């Protein structure tokens, strides 16, 4: 059975940062759509531009605007 967090557009739970970090860690900091390995907290390659770092910063999205699975393994 999948567990979900109900998301209302523009409203996040107080602990969203912790939830997002846990989801990223559960996915081993890899994008579930394209498979790209992203930067972990504190990683800042010295020769990368800000633009390059942003391109490798993993984000958590609620693609359907309402639900976010607790575990990336449930995303497929």
Query: Per-residue pLDDT tens for 1-50?
Result: 445 555 555 677 788 888 889 889 988 999 888 889 999 999 999 999 99
Question: How many Cα neighbours within 13 Å face the side chain of 40?
Answer: 6
The more confidently predicted of residues 38 and 70 is 38
* Residue 17 pLDDT: 87
* Residue 8 pLDDT: 58
- C-alpha closest to that of 10 among 70, 48, 73, 65: 65
């Amino acid at each position: 059975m999948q567990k979900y967090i109900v998301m209302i557009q523009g409203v996040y739970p107080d602990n969203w940062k912790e939830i997002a970090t846990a989801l990223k860690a559960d996915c081993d900091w890899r994008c579930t759509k394209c498979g790209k390995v992203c930067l972990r907290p504190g990683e800042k390659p010295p020769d990368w531009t800000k633009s390059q770092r942003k391109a490798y910063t993993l984000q958590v999205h609620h693609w359907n605007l309402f639900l976010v699975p607790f575990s990336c393994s449930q995303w497929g």
